[in-house]
Amino acid sequence: MEAKQPLADKIRPNSFEGFTGQEHLSARITALTKATRLPSLLLFGPPGCGKSTLALLLAKNTGQNWLRVSAPEAGLTQLRKSLKGVEVLVLDELHRFSKAQQDFFLPILESGEITLIATTTENPSFSVTRQLLSRLHTLKLKPLPSTSLQTLAQKGAEACGVELDETVYEMVAGIAHGDARTMLNLVEYIAQLPPEAREPDQLKAALPDVIARHDKNGDSHYELASAMIKSIRGSDVDAALYYLASLLEGGEDPRFVCRRLILSASEDVGLADPNALPLAVSCQQAVEFVGMPEGFIPLAETVTYLALAPKSNSTYAAYLAAAKEIRAHGRKPVPLHLRNPSTKLQKEWGYGKGYLYPHNYPEGYVPQQYLPDDLAGRRFYQQREQGVEPRLTAWLARARKSFR
């Protein structure tokens, strides 16, 4: 059983003194250890940064009965039975519970029946319900710095009964990208090699092929996507393509990328180039048809087009302005002349009376009131002088002028 125990678990510290990294949280962690009652917590950070280790240390520090479970393995029926007599629950991978399952914790946290220490690699703003998040104190953990990783690598090597060159510790710390678990797996792999193969020059050829880690279910998923869209919005083609490559080379679902590009085509390019939206939709269809890895070709074309296209968010801004008006003052009644007189009674009430049919007039336009009476003359759409948008609205300006 001991031989099968992962190295990361084998050298997991049993006290706060042995906890490595997260110096930015030192004061908060100290305060939590001295608190009369530990509040429910959410530990958020990338893989291998020490979330579970910190959760276990805090649970043990309470001196209460505690239980550790993993969300992917814990059904609510079994969890209910397991919680009898438990005062502190350490729950790994909270984001793997559905929003409905997360609601299970609301009443027991509200009553103080249990203290929850949950961990997640996903941004809580997207993966945890607002109701549950409001009942948790969130601690954001960071990827471990190289110095902390090298210290852990030395401890791991000692636990494996080997001594490695300092250059090797620096090498595995660099490869791990802040992930202690990944690094300790490498140390364990190296420890099993013949002594002559553990030399730095030999290891470069012997180590498994390690690619840059991109946690598509974690926070980098949103950060890289956000950076790509903001680069498109800012018309920086090179940056947009770089973040696209970062997403795809890291194993991101191309359908997620397509969704973001479709939204960008409408929000950021908009009426400045109405061809942007059908191009983005065509990109999604092309990616579905050809699959990956060749799907990067239409994706790269679309990202480049959107970045180079003129930009206008006029329709996006117009909708937000209209929605703000409705939220602030409620929905106003539709003018009677715009209502369809579906019944005789409605016709007697004046439904449809005085409506002017635009197609009966030159250029298909006739001035009449369309907004509710309280909003007559109100403007939500503000034209941008970008791309083809001025041309799209030019005919309307001419038509309005002819009625003056």
Q: Is the same domain home to 240 and 294?
A: yes
Please indicate, yes or no, whether residues 39 and 125 belong to a single structural domain of this protein.
Answer: yes
Q: In this structure, are 201 and 252 located in the same domain?
A: no
Per-residue three-class SS string for 228-270: HHHHHHCCCHHHHHHHHHHHHHCCCCHHHHHHHHHHHHHHHHH
Same domain, 287 and 343: no
Residues 27 and 79 in one domain: yes
Q: Name the residue with tokens 């359908």.
A: 255
With CA atoms as reference, report the closest residue to 51 among 146, 144, 135, 184. 144
Per-residue CA distances from 195 to 175, 190, 199, 282, 308 (Å): 21, 9, 8, 56, 55
Helix/strand/coil for 86: coil
Is the residue at 4 inside a domain? no
CATH number at residue 347: 1.10.3710
Per-residue pLDDT tens listing for the chain (404 residues): 345 778 888 889 888 888 888 889 889 999 998 888 899 999 998 888 889 999 999 999 988 999 998 887 777 777 888 888 889 999 998 888 888 888 888 998 988 889 999 999 888 887 888 899 999 999 999 888 888 999 999 999 988 888 888 888 888 888 777 888 888 988 888 888 888 878 877 777 666 544 344 444 445 667 888 999 999 999 999 999 999 998 888 777 888 899 999 999 999 999 999 999 999 999 999 998 888 788 899 999 999 999 999 999 999 999 999 999 999 888 899 999 999 888 889 888 999 999 999 999 888 888 999 999 889 989 998 888 888 888 888 888 888 888 77
Q: Is residue 227 located within the same domain as residue 271? A: yes
Residue ending a domain, choose from 206, 232, 248: 206
- Same domain? 63 vs 120: yes
At how many degrees (to 10) do helices 219-233 and 237-249 cross? Answer: 160
pLDDT for the residue numbered 211: 39
Residue 316, domain member (yes or no): no
The domain tally of the chain equals: 4
Domain with 98, as residue range(s), is: 22-140
Q: Are the beta carbons of 43 and 141 closer than 8 angstroms? A: yes
Residue 320 counted as domain residue = no
Question: For residue 154, is it within any domain?
Answer: yes
Q: What share of the chain is helix, strand, coil (3-state, %, to 5)?
A: 55, 5, 35
For residue 65, give Cα distances in angstroms to 59, 105, 143, 199, 271.
8, 18, 30, 47, 61
Report if pTM > 0.85: no
15 belongs to a structural domain: no
Burial label for 263, CB within 10 Å (0-12, 13-18, 19+), is: middle
Q: Which residue, 291, 308, 325, sits at the end of a domain?
A: 308
Residue type, 199: E
**Tokens 């004046």 correspond to what residue?**
350
Relative orientation angle of helices 237-249 and 296-308, to the nearest 10 degrees: 150
For residue 279, give the CATH number of its domain. 1.20.272.10
Residue 127: CB partners within 8 Å, gap ≥ 6? 94, 95, 120
What pLDDT was estimated at residue 197?
79
Domain CATH number, residue 119: 3.40.50.300
Domain presence at residue 280: yes
Do 93 and 157 share a domain, yes or no?
A: no
Nearest partner of 238 among 298, 296, 292, 308, judged by Cα: 308
Indicate whether 174 belongs to any domain.
yes
Instruction: Judge if 167 and 199 occupy the same domain.
Output: yes
| Same domain for 93 and 168 | no
Is 97 within a domain? yes
Tell me what pLDDT residue 393 has. Answer: 83
Q: Domain boundary at 117, 140, 163, which?
A: 140
Clarify whether residues 228 and 267 are in a common domain.
Answer: yes
For residues 228 and 129, state if they share a domain: no
